[in-house]
Amino acid sequence: MDYPVDVGILVSYFVLIGGLLWRIHGPLQQCFRSKQSGTAIFIAGAFGAFLCTWYYMIKYFVHSYNEWDNDSSVPASLNRISHWLHSVSLFDDAWRTVSSGSLPWLWSHQLCSFTVGVWTPFLAIEGARRRIPYLWAFMLLGQVVAISTSSALFFAVVLAFPRSDLVGPSRFLNNTLLLCIAGGMVTVVLSPFVAESKWFMPNLLVMHLLLVFPLLPSKPAVYRYTEQAIFVTGIYMLSAGASLAIYVHQVASYLFATNSSVTEVVVAMIETFFSHPAQSSISSDVLWVNILCMMWMAVDTLAKNGAISLNIWVLLATTPILSATVTMPVFLALSELNALSTKRNA
């Protein structure tokens, strides 16, 4: 084998996935033991999201190999695979593919915005309140497997860990969250502009690193719930506003550039979904994130109130249109305000 290091890198990728699953096995075990209502739904969601995203991921690997292999008559071997891996950059090629062009980025930016502005604060805040360990492992698992798969697993874990109103993220963590979300949103905005330049990978690396910093182990703080709830609500509403602005800009730019109708945009997005295996994988991730967030809105609301109110129905109905990058942080902000109101009236 001529390039063992390149093969070793690919093997280490799957070893990392196994290591991350082992790292979070403790919280998952508590999740299975708790038998909370809704746990089975999110475990099934994690399985479905994994199958869909990785079906296309494997197709991307095959597509990349066939594109590289000029002589298809030569059978694949470990040595030829090592030459293929040495000649291509799978991560770079995949992300440039899904970041170049208005329609691919219209799909892909949703996942980036969600991970930066919704998933990172949700992990940090709920992890601190519920003392859930290894939050960083859930984020890394999302980055190397699929955000939707990791999201589903964490939703199931959240149901198994009781929330405390007496502890939460420290002021330092809150400030770190704000800085990382702001910096992350800047990298999201920059991505399509640097997609074909040498700055693309550094920009993407900064985005991924900023997502991990707020999730490193820290000691939960004890302070007034009112102060905590107001700050958390502010984080989620700022995230919703930033995500909505990016989303509307992307849609409006495409509409003005092409003079397309809404129906034509929908058709074009469906065609883009299947245009390339890498695009199909990340678009599947986006769809599953939307589905899982809608499931969380319903499960969480029913657990707290026993019924779904009109405003939640509106959020559920608009999620397929605006995406969970906008509706999920609004839902989380409303949950904070409702909990605060309940405490004040108690």
pLDDT in tens, 181-208: 999 999 999 998 898 888 999 999 999 9
Q: What is the pLDDT of residue 121?
A: 94
Question: In this model, does residue 57 exceed pLDDT 90?
Answer: yes
Neighbours of 164 (CB within 10 A): 14
Mean pLDDT of the region 107-111: 93
245 in helix, strand or coil?
helix
Pairing verdict, β 167-168 and 221-222:
antiparallel
pLDDT at 90 over 70: yes
Q: Which residue has the tokens 């199958």?
A: 51
Residue 175, pLDDT above cutoff 70: yes
Estimate to the nearest angstrom the gap between the alpha carbon of 124 and the chain centroid.
14
pTM greater than the 0.75 cutoff? yes
d(CA 126, CA 26): 17
Mean pLDDT for 112-135 is: 93
Highest mean pLDDT of the ranges 35-39, 77-81, 128-132: 128-132
C-alpha closest to that of 300 among 346, 341, 334: 334
Q: What percentage of the chain reaches a pLDDT higher than 70?
A: 95
Q: Give tens-digit pLDDT for 300-333.
A: 999 888 889 999 999 999 999 999 999 999 999 9
Please state the rounded mean pLDDT for residues 98-119. 92
User: Looking at residues 132-153, what average pLDDT do you find?
Assistant: 95
What is the SS3 assignment for 298?
A: helix
